[in-house]
Amino acid sequence: MEKMVEAAPDRGCSSIHRTEPTLAPNTTELKMAFAGVLKEADITAALEACKAADSFNHKTFFSKIGLSSKSAEDLKKAFEIIDQDKSGFIEEDELKLFLQNFSASARALTDAETKAFLKAGDTDGDGMIGVTEFSEMIKG
């Protein structure tokens, strides 16, 4: 990790990225999981661009955050992070909190955004997004 910033002294982890004081420990881990894949500056810019309610667009987001140009292997890694309960699918509740995988302080998606996001990825119509659907949605 080349871009380490000093973390709060009581965290007991020397490789924490730039962090908000309110970050929960598990969210920090998730962020670190993305750290090898995504650039901190891209994450910040992508989140900033969809800060306002109902401004989220998955294509814009995936492109800004740098996932669109990633390898299949990196997309699989990203999928596994977003699939928080490790069910093998990204369900609606995980989509709703999608942005919080990238920053604990990010907002939840609105119901309209969540449904549009699901619809965009769920090509077989089972109500959740599998790893192939996820990759196709990002690349597509």
User: What is the gyration radius of the CA atoms in the chain, in angstroms?
Assistant: 15
User: Is the distance from CB of 64 to CB of 46 less than 8 angstroms?
Assistant: yes
Burial annotation 43-71 (CB, 10 A radius, 16+ → b, else e): beebbeebeeeeebbbeebbebbbbeebe
Residue 23 tokens, joined: 């970050």
User: Is the distance from CB of 94 to CB of 86 less than 8 angstroms?
Assistant: no
Query: Which residue's Cβ has the minimum distance to Ca ion?
Result: 87
Stretch that binds Ca ion, among 18-26, 66-74, 84-92, 104-112 (CB under 5 A): 84-92
Minimum gap (Å) between residue 33 Cβ and Ca ion: 15
Minimum gap (Å) between residue 137 Cβ and Ca ion: 15
Minimum gap (Å) between residue 131 Cβ and Ca ion: 11
Name the residue nearer to Ca ion (CB basis): 55 or 87: 87
Residue 109 tokens, joined: 């998606």
Task: Verify binding: residue 83, Ca ion, rule CB under 5 A.
Answer: yes
Task: Verify binding: residue 133, Ca ion, rule CB under 5 A.
Answer: no
94 among annotated binding-site residues: yes
Task: Verify binding: residue 122, Ca ion, rule CB under 5 A.
Answer: no
105 among annotated binding-site residues: no
The 85-114 site mask, x for binding Ca ion (CB under 5 A), equals x-x-x-x-----------------------
Dihedral Cα 24, 25, 30, 34, nearest 10 deg: 100
